[in-house]
Amino acid sequence: MKRIAIAGILASVLATAYASAPEPIENYDPLHTPAPQAQRADRGLITGILQQGEQFIAVGGFGTIIEFSDPGQWQQRDVPTSVLLTAINAIDDQHIWVSGHDGVLLQSTDGGQTWQMRLDGHQLLELEYEWLQMRQAELEEAIENAEDEFEAEELEFELDELFFHIGGAEIQFDVGPTKPFLDVHFFNRDVGLAVGAYGTILRTTDGGANWSVKNGAIDNIVGNHINKLVEGPNGELILVGEAGLLARSDDQGETFEMLDSPYHGSLFGALFDNQGQLWIYGLRGNVFVSNDGYDFEQVETNTRYNLNAGTLLNDGRVVLAGHSGTLLVIDPATRALLRFEHESSSPLAGVRQTSDHQLILIGRSGLLTFTLPAVTAMRGN
């Protein structure tokens, strides 16, 4: 049976309703309804966080975007949509992008003070439907010209999967757009990608004025969800997703190379450490690390909780955050690991460091803080 749920953090962290949902409105259209101002927006669902020096911008449920330097003193920004926002990415201190449900991409050109809609689900649907029809014609021609029955069978399987996506797009024309973007990443002010459910990949080379569909850039016939994009120290782009989906691009997302995944469950995130090692992590506490981006070693975590997000501490250690308030602190050199749990036991969607021992956490319970033990104690094994 074709799965219908979004794999990854949005499949579980986002399963709980926003803590302060607005009153029902007749004919409510979240796509183009401005985000409600909430007295406790910091306690609603928060799914993405950006750190720029001492300033933070967090995004989440019902179009919430809040800015703060101290978690207790935040300011909510006006946002032209109230869909669930999923991720945030900065090009520089002024140019910032946010992805969201219903095909939403938002942009700020003034450091997050104001936000503009740059793409919505109706536009996404038109782009993808045109690409699907074009791909259908290509496959039908390829089947007619196949050299043997085995090639024809493979092409027919791809065409069957394509018909599934075409049917889904036609339903969206009737009921309205529903497909979420799960991440967005820009290399510079011009070139960027947005990725999401059912293998969606969009790419722009003109700062978001125009987008091209790149769904065929990776080997993803069945349309596994794409959960995360991360850029490496040499400009390489790593893509991770559902069912162990793992790919690399060295030309800013124009083309991708499929990588042999060390795990066939969902991967929810990736990061590079200070030594250039690639860490990937996801379902059931699975963590893998690679020195070259191709061969991976599994890291024993002694947890079965999903790991959804990560960051580097100032001293170079890796911190991974996940379900039940789980925090793993790992020494990249020795693989030594310490495990902590936030007192809330809440699913976590992100982690950032504010000072030597202080972390900001985000997730189902909004903005949270956590104090790490002293570094000397942490390093004692």
How would DSSP label each residue in 9-25? GGGTGGGSPPTTPPPP-
pTM score of the predicted model: 0.91
pLDDT, average across residues 195-201: 97
Answer yes or no: do 170 and 215 share one domain: no
The CATH number of the domain holding residue 189 is 2.130.10.10
Decide if pLDDT at 15 tops 60: no
Q: Where are the alpha helices (DSSP H) in the chain?
A: 121-144, 149-175, 375-379
Q: Measure the CA–CA gap between 232 and 73, rounded to whole angstroms.
A: 33
Q: How confident is the model at residue 356 (pLDDT cuts 50, 70, 90)?
A: confident
Tell me which DSSP letter residue 285 carries.
G
Q: Is residue 65 part of a domain?
A: yes
> Buried (b) or exposed (e) across 251-284, using 16+ Cβ within 10 A?
ebbeebeebebbbeebbbbbbbbeeebbbbbbbe
pLDDT, average across residues 91-106: 98
Answer yes or no: do 161 and 184 share one domain: no
Answer yes or no: do 354 and 253 share one domain: yes
Q: Tokens for 281?
A: 């992590």
Q: For all residues of the chain together, what is the average pLDDT?
A: 92
**Mind listing the pLDDT tens digit for each residue in 342-353?**
999 999 999 999
Single-letter code of the amino acid located at 248: R
Q: Is residue 113 part of a domain?
A: yes
Answer yes or no: do 61 and 104 share one domain: yes
Q: Is residue 185 part of a domain?
A: yes
pLDDT, average across residues 128-153: 95
Answer yes or no: do 243 and 160 share one domain: no
pLDDT of residue 58: 98
Answer yes or no: do 198 and 74 share one domain: yes
Q: Alpha-carbon Rg of the chain, whole angstroms?
A: 21
Decide if pLDDT at 381 tops 60: no
pLDDT, average across residues 184-200: 98
**Continuous segment of H or E residues that includes residue 86:** strand 85-90
Q: Is residue 304 part of a domain?
A: no
Decide if pLDDT at 16 tops 80: no
pLDDT of residue 23: 57
Decide if pLDDT at 11 tops 80: no
Answer yes or no: do 184 and 157 share one domain: no
Answer yes or no: do 19 and 110 share one domain: yes
Answer yes or no: do 110 and 37 share one domain: yes
Domain extent, residue 145, equals 125-174
Contacts of 197 (CB under 8 A, 6+ apart): 6, 179, 180, 182, 225
**Mind listing the pLDDT tens digit for each residue in 223-281?**
999 999 999 999 999 999 999 999 999 999 999 999 999 999 999 999 999 999 999 99
Q: Is residue 306 part of a domain?
A: no
Answer yes or no: do 199 and 232 share one domain: yes
Answer yes or no: do 55 and 151 share one domain: no
Answer yes or no: do 13 and 69 share one domain: yes
Decide if pLDDT at 380 tops 60: no
Q: Is residue 107 part of a domain?
A: yes
Mark which of 174, 197, 214 sits at the end of a domain.
Answer: 174
Q: Is residue 373 part of a domain?
A: yes
The domain total for the chain is: 2
pLDDT of residue 304: 97
At residue 241's C-alpha, the angle toward residues 83 and 86, to 5°, is 20
Q: Is residue 215 part of a domain?
A: yes
Q: Are 81 and 33 in contact (CB under 8 A)?
A: yes
How would DSSP label each residue in 106-151? EEESSTTSS-EEEE-HHHHHHHHHHHHHHHHHHHHHHHHT-SSHHH
Decide if pLDDT at 378 tops 80: no
